[in-house]
Structure 1
Amino acid sequence: MTEPDPAPTRRAWLVWGVGLSVYVLAVFHRSSLAVAGLAASDRFDISASQLATFAMLQLLVYAGMQIPVGLLVDRLGSRTVLTGGTIVLSLAQAGFALASSYPAALVARVFVGMGDAMTFICVLRLVSSWFPGRRVPLVSQLTGNIGQLGAVGAAVPMTWALGHLGWTTAYLTAAAIGPVLLVVLRFLLHDHPERKHVRGTALSRRALAASLRASWFQPGTRLGFWVHFTTPFSATMLALLWGYPFFVKGEGLSPTTAGSLLTLIVVANITGGPIMGWAAGRHPWHRSTTALSIVAAIVAMWTVVLAWPGQAPVWLLALLALVTGFGGPASMIGFDVGRTSNPATRLASASGIINQGGFVAALLVVLVVGWVLDWRTPGGATDYTPSAFRWAMSVQYVAWGVGALQIWRYRRRVRRGTGRDRVEQGSTMVDRPMAA
């Protein structure tokens, strides 16, 4: 029988809290433009498509930075990379506050995306270093869920600040939070219970490429990638761009009701995290089964909504929002599979590969939905019809199909490489991969 893991120490919770605070700040900066759309349009004299470029470019930079950041964390440790990320975020937000032209604002948002990318993987690495193996899935879920409070914090405070303080003062005030957290980080955050810094071995370009290949060709990393690819993109697509138009134009809801449904996605994301974390820690052998079950539930809800004759009732759309929102915490299962499938020396680079999955899927689906809507409604956004949205939202089935097939494929490979008893120990891989 496996002995129970020791309880985490107070110091472990303190270190996690400091790292989590930096991640919350990153999400705050990432989301701070969401409530400033009209103000940004006026300040930079830009169109709606130019405004949308801010969000798309920032996400592209975030996704593209995941592997480089993972390699940096494996080499330099979380403490150093989090320090750099906090500095980049603060300077970028200050630059955005002072930008007076659209190109300058775009450059600032690129660096916001870079700084944002340097936070989440660092905190996951800290969780793996400071917490017992069976606690890691739950604390990782809490990291992702609590981090989303940064988006909530960006809504009301930034709306008030933009209205009362003006653009420059509001964003400079937000940027000033970073240096305060930086001081706390430098005093309290260590990479490991026994060491302030954990440095990896300096590697040549060839060795780095070999390490990255080893991470990618590890079946557990690929399984984690496809779990992260398949589970969250529908919720991201709705929350990022197409949810509001779909509910208003496609389903005939009022703007207030549409906004409430989008809020339900966040509620599901936050409440689902502890459940997914508990399930992954308690039943690690069935992690991929849990992910496939969530995907099946999301597909089923979309099928009912899209097949409903006429406009779907509000209660059904609320169920859609809630079930789709569970895809976010389900995606965190991918990181836990990667953790138990890779040695600690390349844990962050594997997490970076996995973290790309959901963002790649979301960007592809967002773009293709837009293309289909343009095809079905050449007149533009004012002419969007329920029929056009049914066509457009159906493109998700392709991504779900590809992702679910790959999850099934790679979970069989991972399970063949280990035994169930080893999986249920819950620790990071030492000599061979663990199943899911």
Structure 2
Amino acid sequence: MRPNRSRPRQPGKDSLRAHVVFAIGTFAYFSAVAQRTSFGVASVDAAERFGTAASALSMFSLMQVLVYAGLQVPVGVLVDRFGSRVMVAAGAGLMTVGQLQLALADSVAEGVVARVLVGAGDAATFVCVMRLIPAWFSALRVPPLTQFLGVVGNLGQLLSVIPFAWLLDLGGWTSSFTALAAVALLAAVLSTALLRNAPPGVDVLNRELSLRRTGQVLRESVAEPGTRLGFWVHFTAQFAGNTFVLMWGYPYLAYAQGLDDRAISVVMTSFVLTNLAVGLILGGLTARRPQHRVRLSLSVTAVIFTAWAVLLVWPGEAPSAVVLGAVCVIAVSMPASMIAFDIARSFNPPQRTGTATGIVNVGGFAATVLAIFLTGLVLDLLAAAGFREELYAPDSFRFAVAAQFLVAAAGTVGVLLTARRVRREHGSGAA
């Protein structure tokens, strides 16, 4: 089944109100990304605050991402039933509570609970905002706006990289995380007041989602090979950038490359700006050349891990320009992963878009869990074996990051196998 990109515009679509709804949804996602990535910026401070090793410290991000990934399908089902307004506002509320909990946490257990709440709230944001786009905009505008949501929402990383990092250094742990909670609270208020599920007179909710019907919709979504292809594309394309920004980017830049805080801020800011620039380009390519989406995603993945390979084989600390260039390449993984949602949308009817999007979104975050865990595990094993005295020794990072290549290889196999199935069922030009 190929998407129909020439349908006549429906009443209320592409209107001023549609843009207001999209702007509020984008801000909610911007806030969610800031909450999600804040711990990566604070990971060194967290190691001192909680006095824990690399693998235990990774539990903060691991639990957050596990909860996020585990809730994607339930959230997709719930948003099909109750709509984006309720879900996005509830998610922002959970993140508010989670960040306040983390601001006051004194133990690993308290901190992990806080990140679980943040992960749950984050889970209820992206999929639900994504559902607003086809409801409020015409078909040709959906792929570019999907990319725009991803890249502008990911500017929330800048809130973590610059003002949050500055506030963390100046005011300490409690005040900085409390400030982030205030941003999440603002998103909750705006979503409650201004978000609407669809244009007036248009009903996009699946009000017949009983438990039995929910299971049927889920089975239908999973049975569609286009959904599974989206899952594996997201799995393969997203995790490199996600792992970098959520957990290991700051420690790697500080300990393996010897950058100071100011230089790290410049590199991470460039990471975010690359998301913005490349995402807008990829959105246009996806809209005009849907038959090349799989090749595009695999090409991006190959380039990303080539950049990682350059950093890993470079003797000693790489020149700053090389580090900056490699990190900007790694950043492309974030907008490239958005291709997966356009793939899933092409092969699923509107009534199960939320469910299919949730399934796809599990992919990248499942891979992120594996990559975060493997990296921390390798660091701890090397330290326990006496490979180097320092936990975050540069040579230890070479082996730890290299373990992520296994995740990329597994994802690539998944993409190739499911793409073959899609072409067999929907035609050679479908993927």
CA distance in 2, matches of 1:326, 1:207: 38
Residue by residue over 1:363-421, the C-alpha shift from the partner in whole angstroms, topping out at 9 and shown as x without a partner, is 2122223333344442366165555444333333322222222222222322333358x
Read off the aligned partner of 1:154 and give its amino acid letter: S
Indicate the larger mover: 245-254 or 231-240. 245-254
Residue by residue over 1:170-208, the C-alpha shift from the partner in whole angstroms, topping out at 9 and shown as x without a partner, is 544543444544443334321111348643133343432
Residue by residue over 1:104-139, the C-alpha shift from the partner in whole angstroms, topping out at 9 and shown as x without a partner, is 443233212111110100110001211111211111
> Closer, same or farther in 2 for the Cα pair 1:240/1:309, shift >3 Å?
same
Partner of 1:427: none
Does residue 415 of structure 1 match 2:417?
A: no
Partner of 1:129: 135
Does residue 25 of structure 1 match 2:31?
A: yes
Partner of 2:282: 276
Counterpart contact for 1:61–1:113, Cα < 8 Å: yes
> Closer, same or farther in 2 for the Cα pair 1:195/1:182, shift >3 Å?
farther
Residue by residue over 1:140-186, the C-alpha shift from the partner in whole angstroms, topping out at 9 and shown as x without a partner, is 11111111222212344435555676655554454344454444333
CA distance in 1, matches of 2:151, 2:93: 24
> Closer, same or farther in 2 for the Cα pair 1:98/1:72, shift >3 Å?
same
Counterpart contact for 1:64–1:356, Cα < 8 Å: yes
Read off the aligned partner of 2:409 and give its amino acid letter: G
Partner of 1:351: 357
CA distance in 1, matches of 2:421, 2:197: 33
Does residue 221 of structure 1 match 2:227?
A: yes
TM alignment of 1:354-365, pairs within 5 A = 354-365=360-371
Instruction: Say which of 395, 408, 413 aligns to 2:403.
Output: 395
Structure 2 residue runs without a partner (length 5+): none
CA distance in 1, matches of 2:183, 2:326: 37
Partner of 2:78: 72
Counterpart contact for 1:231–1:328, Cα < 8 Å: yes
Indicate the larger mover: 290-299 or 197-206. 197-206
RMSD of equivalent CA atoms:
3.1
Partner of 1:145: 151
> Closer, same or farther in 2 for the Cα pair 1:384/1:91, shift >3 Å?
closer
Indicate the larger mover: 53-62 or 283-292. 53-62
Residue by residue over 1:235-287, the C-alpha shift from the partner in whole angstroms, topping out at 9 and shown as x without a partner, is 22333333344445545656654554344322322221101111101111111
1:217: how far off? 1.9
Residue by residue over 1:267-325, the C-alpha shift from the partner in whole angstroms, topping out at 9 and shown as x without a partner, is 32222110111110111111111111112222333344444566544433333212221
> Closer, same or farther in 2 for the Cα pair 1:86/1:322, shift >3 Å?
closer
Partner of 2:52: 47
> Closer, same or farther in 2 for the Cα pair 1:233/1:31, shift >3 Å?
closer
Counterpart contact for 1:134–1:282, Cα < 8 Å: no
Read off the aligned partner of 1:393 and give its amino acid letter: V
> Closer, same or farther in 2 for the Cα pair 1:197/1:90, shift >3 Å?
farther
Partner of 1:430: none
Query: TM-score scaled by structure 2?
Result: 0.86
CA distance in 1, matches of 2:202, 2:97: 26
Count of residues paired in the alignment: 422
CA distance in 2, matches of 1:139, 1:226: 22
Query: TM-score scaled by structure 1?
Result: 0.85
CA distance in 1, matches of 2:305, 2:292: 20
> Closer, same or farther in 2 for the Cα pair 1:24/1:399, shift >3 Å?
same
CA distance in 2, matches of 1:305, 1:97: 35
Structure with greater contact order relative to length (CA < 8 Å, sep ≥ 6): 2
TM alignment of 1:172-251, pairs within 5 A = 172-195=178-201, 198-247=204-253, 249-251=255-257
